[in-house]
Amino acid sequence: MKKWKLRLAVGLMLLLPVALISTTTSAQAASKAATTAKAKPKKQYLIIMGHGAGDPGARGNGTNEATFLRKNLLPQLKKYSKEVKNSQITFYNPKHNIVKDTLVHHKGSYKINKHTTVIMFHLDAPNGKGGHVIIHKKHPTKRDKRLAKVIKKYVGLNRAYRGGYSFRTNLRNCNVLRKRGIDYSLVEMGFITNKSNYKHLKKNMAKIAKADIEAITNEKIK
Ligand SMILES: [Zn+2]
């Protein structure tokens, strides 16, 4: 080995640890910064309008469940969902039907992250009045209780269900989530067939949507 080559080799060997140390340090700093930024991840929610994609759901008062929810409720929920700070709310494609997507195409709830909480909105039929919450576990969660309060305030609770809750394990639209261990609440907003329920829903849609977003996230909107 020529003398200058030897010097170069020795010089590089001496520099190598320095380079390694500085790389490690900057990598550690970067990962620490990332951890700090991720310290408070937003709680994830997915909101689904019931039925759709050719399934109208229940009919009443000149409309049907799928259309009423998408036309009246969805835009208001979207509006207020932007005003919460600690929650990330996304909406299931309103052109789709999650039950069909899941059972027929093996998509739908297969694509939902297990840490996401799902909130489904529906309207009841044919005979009765008032709304209720179909719950995931045997006993209502705090979120279920807040959602029932909103129903009680604007439409009234369905007396057929004690406290406004119903625990069911025989509903397809819940079981597509239940089978994947995904947390959910299903809100039956009231009867689409009942004139008074329908009138109250239409009249208070913005207030209901705002209160529902607050109930879901447990955050206050100004
Ligand atoms: Zn329905």
79-100 residue pLDDT tens:
999 999 999 999 999 999 999 9
Average confidence score pLDDT of the chain = 89
| C-alpha 131 – ligand 1 centre gap (Å) | 12
The verdict on whether omega for the bond into residue 126 sits within 30 degrees of 0, i.e. cis, is: yes
Class of domain 43-217: alpha beta
Could you tell me the two tokens for 213?
Answer: 């977003």
pLDDT score recorded for residue 30: 55
| C-alpha 52 – ligand 1 centre gap (Å) | 10
Could you tell me the two tokens for 53?
Answer: 């994609």
3-state secondary structure of 31: helix
Helix axis angle for 142-154 and 205-217, nearest 10°, is 170
Q: Per-residue pLDDT averaged across 160-187, rounded?
A: 93
| C-alpha 50 – ligand 1 centre gap (Å) | 6
| C-alpha 54 – ligand 1 centre gap (Å) | 13
Cβ atoms of 125 and 191 closer than 8 Å: yes
| C-alpha 196 – ligand 1 centre gap (Å) | 19
| C-alpha 123 – ligand 1 centre gap (Å) | 5
Closest of 186, 89, 172 to residue 140, by C-alpha: 186
Q: Tens of pLDDT along 107-133?
A: 998 899 999 999 999 999 999 999 999
| C-alpha 134 – ligand 1 centre gap (Å) | 11
Q: Is the pLDDT of residue 19 over 90?
A: no
Q: How wide is the angle at C-alpha 177 spanned by C-alphas 140 and 162, nearest 5°?
A: 25
